[in-house]
């Protein structure tokens, strides 16, 4: 059966394909092949041309021609690599043979005779553990971070827009000391900003050290060359990654775990934001802009469901399940290497794609919100009992006997405590006229502390 959005098993390649298509450039099978070729070609160039080796110095035209192998890589060429893999039953060896084919086709003077320096001294994980970090880095820089910055800025903007709108807070689901809508939104903006800054600053690790991490084959072939310095310079200066050292045959993946854990924290923030928005919508603090032909329920015509926040919550939770598992499992490998990491690494894009879906859905959901100040104000007006905190605290300052207990007796468990009840209580207090005047000025919509900024 031909792969189609309607025949795909994974919803990422089916239902959600158009929404995450930007990530296909980094996390598809073709992309992985292309990044492997990039690593092999750049290593080949560096090996031939490096000041310490000078195996076959290259001119700029030759370097450009070699780089064209991965820069102009096509889907047909990816299929050719997969054909070779059918014969070799080894994906990285197939890449090596493909590059050698291309060297023959290019006909670059003298390079076909140097083709055994393709993949020289390397193990497959030197290629995978640099190609995959490159994929992650580029996906972050080109797709994920711009979308995350955009969402963070929008959440901050909403907080600014609503910072003066007083709102009843709810702790344990019960009416509590008032806040403002904007301040509560700013909480999420700040949390996102902190994780965004960490993700922007995080180093992307790569392993490059031969069969067991010691560059044995390199040193036995060219004993006079400082191969560790060569590897450091290649990984850090040419590829722009951070070289892990020492390692076994594979990267220890602690650095990737740090990245995945950052994604998991971001997912937790998104889930928290989605659940709060869902509850505010259910309380009608927010209304949702609707599209004429959109259906909220197949049975109940009146409904406008908060589906964007529900979709985002589900995708964020799934992303954390995948990336959290990878964070825990990848750093664990028997002795110098077992193969469990090989198949797991192919699921990085899946975890990141579900995060990207969550970002998109949250953005769409927030864009539909319309604040309902009438309902918000009515809720405040219905809950004058929340001023008990303010009254008993002022009375404590004045040395009034057992103020907490007095307010508890007045308010706790009472079905209605309105402005009249509370102000009659204040007027009967044995305190100065000045204190009474201060307390009588209290209102639920003005008792907000510094929440308004």
- On the CB side of 74, CA atoms within 13 Å amount to 4
User: CB of 359 within 8 A of CB of 151?
Assistant: yes
What tokens does 328 get?
């825990």
Q: What is the pTM of this model?
A: 0.93
20: nearest Cα among 405, 318, 415: 318
254: nearest Cα among 382, 133, 434, 76: 133
Q: In sequence order, what DSSP letters do the residues of 157-196 get, joined into one string? A: HHHHHTTT-EEEEEETTEEEEEEEHHHHHHHHHHHHHHHH
What tokens does 247 get?
């390692």
User: What is the distance of C-alpha 26 from the center of its chain?
Assistant: 15
What tokens does 259 get?
């990245």
- How far is residue 423's CA from residue 444's CA, in Å, rounded to a whole number? 13
Q: Return the sign of the alpha-carbon dihedral for residues 210, 212, 215, 220.
A: negative
Q: What is the pLDDT at residue 280?
A: 97
Mean pLDDT, consecutive 10-residue segments, the chain of 453 residues? Answer: 79 90 95 98 95 88 94 97 96 97 83 90 97 98 98 98 96 95 97 97 96 97 96 96 96 96 98 98 93 62 83 98 98 94 95 98 96 97 94 94 90 85 92 94 95 71
- H/E element, 125: helix 124-139
Q: What is the pLDDT at residue 301?
A: 65
Cis peptide before 246 (omega within 30 of 0): yes
**φ, ψ of residue 287 in degrees (nearest 5):** -105, 165
Which residues are catalytically annotated? 172, 297
DSSP 8-state class, residue 141 = I
117: nearest Cα among 65, 48, 163, 52: 48
What tokens does 253 get?
């993946």
**φ, ψ of residue 33 in degrees (nearest 5):** -60, -45
Q: What is the pLDDT at residue 2?
A: 75
- How far is residue 318's CA from residue 183's CA, in Å, rounded to a whole number? 29
Q: What is the pLDDT at residue 112?
A: 79
232: nearest Cα among 215, 254, 253: 215
Q: Return the sign of the alpha-carbon dihedral for residues 304, 180, 184, 168.
A: negative
């Amino acid at each position: 059966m031909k792969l189609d959005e309607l025949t795909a098993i994974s919803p990422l390649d089916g239902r959600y394909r158009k929404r995450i298509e930007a990530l296909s450039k980094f996390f598809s099978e073709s992309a992985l092949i292309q990044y492997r070729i990039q690593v092999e070609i750049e290593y080949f160039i560096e090996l031939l041309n490096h000041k310490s080796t000078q195996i076959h110095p290259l001119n700029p035209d030759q370097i450009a021609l070699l780089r064209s192998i991965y820069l102009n890589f096509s889907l047909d060429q990816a299929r050719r690599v997969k054909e070779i893999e059918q014969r070799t039953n080894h994906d990285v060896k197939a890449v090596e043979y493909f590059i050698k084919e291309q060297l023959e086709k290019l006909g670059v003077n003298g390079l076909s005779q140097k083709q055994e320096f393709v993949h020289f001294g390397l193990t497959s994980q030197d290629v995978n553990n640099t190609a995959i970090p490159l994929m992650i880095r580029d996906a972050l820089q080109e797709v994920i971070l711009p979308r995350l910055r955009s969402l963070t800025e929008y959440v901050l903007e909403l907080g600014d827009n609503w910072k003066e709108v007083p709102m009843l807070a709810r702790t344990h689901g019960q009416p509590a000391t008032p806040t403002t809508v904007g301040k509560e939104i700013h909480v999420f903006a700040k949390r996102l900003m902190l994780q965004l800054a960490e993700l922007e600053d995080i180093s992307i690790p790569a392993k490059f050290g031969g069969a067991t991490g010691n560059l044995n084959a390199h040193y036995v072939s060219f004993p006079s060359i400082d191969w560790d310095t060569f590897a450091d310079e290649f990984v850090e200066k040419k590829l722009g990654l951070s070289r892990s050292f020492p390692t076994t045959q594979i990267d220890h993946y602690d650095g990737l775990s740090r990245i995945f854990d950052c994604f998991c924290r971001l997912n937790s923030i998104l889930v928290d934001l989605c659940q709060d928005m869902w509850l505010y919508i259910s309380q009608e603090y927010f209304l949702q802009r609707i599209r004429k032909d959109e259906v909220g329920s197949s049975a109940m015509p009146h409904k406008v469901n908060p589906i964007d926040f529900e979709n985002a919550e589900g995708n964020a939770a799934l992303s954390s399940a995948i990336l959290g598992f990878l964070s825990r499992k990848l750093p664990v490998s028997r002795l110098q290497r077992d193969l469990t990491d090989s198949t797991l690494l192919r699921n990085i894009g899946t975890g990141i794609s579900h995060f990207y879906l969550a970002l998109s859905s949250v953005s769409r959901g927030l864009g539909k919100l319309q604040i309902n100040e009438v309902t918000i104000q009515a809720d405040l007006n219905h809950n004058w009992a929340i001023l008990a905190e303010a009254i008993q605290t002022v009375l404590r300052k004045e040395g009034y006997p057992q103020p907490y207990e007095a307010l508890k007796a007045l308010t706790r468990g009472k079905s209605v405590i309105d402005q009249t009840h509370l102000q009659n209580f204040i007027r009967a207090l044995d305190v100065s006229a000045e204190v009474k005047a201060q307390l009588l000025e209290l209102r639920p919509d003005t008792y907000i502390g510094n929440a308004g900024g």
